[in-house]
Amino acid sequence: MFHNHWHPIRTITATAEGGASADDPGQPTPPAESETGGEPIDWEAKYKEALGHSRDWEKKAKANKAAADELEKLKESQMSEAEKAAKHTQELEAQVAAYKAKEQQAEWKAQVSAKTGIPAEALRGSSLEEIQAHADVLKPLLHPAPKLPNVPNPAQHPEGRTADERAKAYVRSLFGNKD
């Protein structure tokens, strides 16, 4: 059913001549040597060199950021008064639009609150339809339908009498009162 295909792992170790040998697994691997002189590679020196390059690039990036900030300030200072006024006007118009939208939403919430009896603070939404939909969800939770008392149906009792009439009749039968 299942075929067992086992492939042994071959290890390659270095031989005395510097080549690899799969037949001599007992030999330890010598330290890495550089390609040019056969000397061991100084990894710590390489790390410090790479770290130095990294620091150089970091300094260049900070200098570029400072130059970009300075250029932005220069552009801003060269803007005409009309351009500055136009930019300021756009910012103020955006604020006014936001205030009007909030005011309109508050008006809608008050309107829906008056209609449904749900507090305006509890209502959420950015359009009249969303606020009304939220009110429809909250209304059954805040104003549940009253539960009616359980009144037995007189037609279901023997002789068509209510429970109260039957109790009075029982008391009369106990005391022999025929009234």
pLDDT digits (tens, 9 = 90+) for 114-171: 999 889 999 999 899 999 999 999 888 887 777 766 656 655 555 566 778 878 888 8
Query: Is residue 12 classed as helix, strand or coil in its secondary structure?
Result: coil
Q: Which helix (H) or strand (E) holds 105?
A: helix 81-116
The boundaries of the domain holding residue 76 are 45-145
- Is residue 84 in some structural domain? yes
If you count them, how many residues does the chain have? 179
- Is residue 159 in some structural domain? no
Query: Is residue 131 classed as helix, strand or coil in its secondary structure?
Result: helix
Report the domain count for the chain: 1
| Ramachandran category for residue 176: left, alpha or beta (phi over 0 → left; psi -120 to 50 → alpha) | left
pTM attached to this predicted model: 0.37
Convert the pLDDT of each residue in 28-40 to its tens digit.
555 554 455 567 8
